[in-house]
Amino acid sequence: MTTLTARPAPAGTRSVPERGAFAGTPRLVRFALRRDRIRLTAWLLGVTALSVSTAVSFAGLYVTAEDRQGTAATMDSPAGLAMTGPRHYLTDYNLGSMMGHQMLGFTAVLVALMSIFLVVRHTRAEEESGRAELLRATVVGHHAHLAAALVVAVIANLLLALLIALTHGALGVEGMTWPGSVLYGVAHAAVGMTFAGVAAVTAQVMEHPRGASGAASAVLGAAYVLRAVGDASNQTLSWFSPIGWTQATYVYVDDRWWPLLLCVATGALLATVGFALSTRRDLGAGLRVPRPGRASATPALTRPLGFALRLQRSVLIGFLVALGLTGVSYGSFLADVEEMLANVEGLDEAIAAIGGATITESFISMVTIVMSIIASIFVVLAVLRARGEESAGRAEPVLATRLSRSGWLGSHLLVAVGGGALLSLTGALGLAVAGVGSTGDGSLFATALGAAMAYLPAQWVTAGVTVALYGWVPRVATLAWFVPGYAFLVGYLGGILQMPDWLQRFSPFSIVPTVPAEDLAWGPLVGLTLLAVALVVVGLVGFRRRSVGAA
């Protein structure tokens, strides 16, 4: 029997230092900031610019105290409060309190999404790509990736708070004081930190990045609904929502700081839970145990279209629920829309610019634009799923079979186009059902469905742009997000913010006739359809020519 004895390390070699759970976090933070320098800059400048432009627009639209009080009287209804914020803001409705009342809840959602995507990108997505496992094999600690993601999220939110505070305080707008502007900026950062903590937990529970982002976004949606219902009927419900906590600061009215402590404490608690849960799972796995698969694949899964639909199923279901609820929420107060918007000068002018025999028709047109743009977000996601499959190395083995490249990419395109149409139909049905219950007008079914279907060619152009970018230069395929983002900016906010008309010419959604406010014209729809077909053909040609897996 022999005995193994430890041998001393050869001279000149360095021993590997003992690593802690957070070892390597500072380097990962620098690396994440380097990777996301453009992405984060776009988020920070975009949210700041949106808020600043709205403040400037309010200053030009509501010049006198009578204008502001008329708007306050219009907003003092359950539907108005659900769309904006708590009634207490209406007690002193200056330009600053208008920002807190009408914009804080909306921009808080954007900041929450920024934090969710940021944390998931640097945790769960790193595990799925295999990079986290390679780094864990070095001196990087077990908690380093999550800690780095949370630190980057905190840095991003603090920078946003600084930008918002400086820009809004420097505007010199009546009612927007420097202390209130600082609180307004910090409120955005606080809600962002809360949902960074939410993402830290969902990244441990769900096995894939889309599932983690979807679960965190579902929490965000529930928080918004609780806030809306609470402000409209029972204020107690708002205290169960982080968005309700930020609006409870009553910025530019009372300037209360203490509700933000709830956001920070909740975010810290959730982050701690995320760290604890990460020790109870294997790298690359989630706490949510996946259901056992079938013994054999269904016939649909053996075909490209069926498999692509299976990959998109969860996201599609989530969008269907969201758009259905959106349609119902807008349709529920169609009966009161004329009275509600009568004295809201900015929105009144934007609605009037759409045209239409009645304000209700013009309002349906505006709502349909919003829901169509939301559906186009799914269109971009569905097409870019092909990019994700290629980056993960799963596309190459599939394309090594007899399946053509056009057939593989075309299956994702068909899911995107068909799913977008289904989403538009769902939103229109929700609007029609709730609208009929509110107004008793059965003709709303045909009106809402016709308006939604008119925007399908614009969604096809969005898909075509995404396919063209992915087919030729996949590394910049994410630029396709510019299409729905720009469409929302000029289509929904353009009229409210009184943007020049020429800006709308660059959005396919602005080319579509605003049915039912306008008569349906087939020329623009045919033109958009031909453009979409041309873009798809260009993208397929590019995909056939380039190497799979190429940057």
Is 5 among the domain residues? no
Instruction: Give the gyration radius of the chain's Cα atoms.
Output: 25
Does 230 map to a domain? Answer: yes
Phi, psi of 201 (to 5 degrees): -80, -50
Asked if 379 and 260 sit in the same domain, the reply is no
- Are 25 and 81 found together in one domain? yes
Q: Mean pLDDT for the chain?
A: 87
- DSSP category for residue 15: P
Q: Tell me what percent of the residues of the chain surpass a pLDDT of 90.
A: 52
Which has the closest alpha carbon to 227: 106, 332, 140, 313? 106
Share of the chain above pLDDT 70, in %: 90
Q: Is the pLDDT of residue 155 over 80?
A: yes
Task: Confirm whether 2 is domain-assigned.
Answer: no
Q: What are the CA-CA distances from residue 34 to residues 22, 27, 124, 281 (Å)?
A: 20, 11, 19, 29
Give residue for tokens 């205290």. 239
Q: How far apart are CA 382 and CA 259, in angstroms?
A: 39
Give the confidence band of 285 by pLDDT, cuts at 50, 70, 90: confident
pTM of this prediction? 0.81
Q: Which ranges of 171-208 would DSSP assign to H, the alpha helix?
A: 178-205
- Residues 507-542 have pLDDT tens digits of 999 899 888 777 788 999 999 999 999 999 999 999
Asked if pLDDT for residue 328 goes beyond 80, the answer is yes
Most confident segment among 155-169, 217-231, 233-247 = 155-169
Summarize the confidence of residues 245-254 as an average pLDDT. 96
pLDDT tens by residue, 433-465: 988 887 888 888 888 999 999 999 999 999 999
Supply the pLDDT for residue 161. Answer: 97
- Kindly report, residue by residue over 47-106, the tens digit of the pLDDT: 998 899 889 888 887 888 888 888 888 778 776 788 788 999 998 899 999 999 989 998
Transcribe 122-159 into DSSP letters: TTHHHHHHTHHHHHHTTT--TTHHHHHHHHHHHHHHHH
Q: Are 416 and 384 in contact (CB under 8 A)?
A: no
pLDDT attached to residue 550: 63
CB atoms < 10 A from the CB of 299, how many?
A: 8
* 3: DSSP letter: -
Residues 316, 167: one domain? no
Same domain, 310 and 281: no
Same domain, 122 and 91: yes
State mean pLDDT over 15-33: 83
Q: Which two tokens stand for residue 468?
A: 């063209």
Examine residue 235 and state whether it is found in any structural domain, yes or no: yes
Q: Looking at the domain assignment, is residue 424 inside a domain?
A: yes
Q: Do 30 and 82 belong together in one domain? A: yes
How buried is residue 547: exposed, middle or buried, by Cβ count under 10 Å (0-12/13-18/19+)? exposed
Asked, for residue 542, whether it belongs to a domain, the answer is yes
Residue 59: HSE in the Cβ half-sphere, 13 Å Cα cutoff? 14
Domain membership flag for residue 247: yes
Task: Name which residue leads in pLDDT, 32 or 60.
Answer: 32
- What average pLDDT does range 473-488 have in this prediction? 90
Tokens for 86?
A: 């708590």
> What's residue 341's pLDDT?
60
Mean predicted confidence (pLDDT) in 207-218: 87
Q: What is the mean pLDDT of residues 426-431?
A: 93
Place of tokens 């600084």: 162
Domain end point (choices 263, 289, 315): 289
Q: Is the pLDDT of residue 305 over 60?
A: yes
Shared domain for 323 and 381, answered yes or no, is yes
Q: Which among 335, 337, 375, 368 has a CA at the least distance from the CA of 518? A: 368
Of 289, 309, 328, the one marking the end of a domain is 289
Confidence of residue 339 (pLDDT cuts 50, 70, 90): low
360, part of any domain: yes
Other CB atoms within 10 A of residue 205 CB:
17
Query: 365 and 235 in one domain?
Result: no
Task: Tell me which of 262, 289, 316 is where a domain ends.
Answer: 289
Number of folded domains in the chain? 2
Highest mean pLDDT among 177-191, 305-319, 436-450: 177-191
Tell me which residue range forms the domain holding 483: 298-551
Both 318 and 373 in one domain: the answer is yes
pLDDT-based confidence at residue 416 (cuts at 50, 70, 90): very high
Quick one: 414 exposed, middle or buried, by C-beta within 10 A (0-12, 13-18, 19+)?
middle
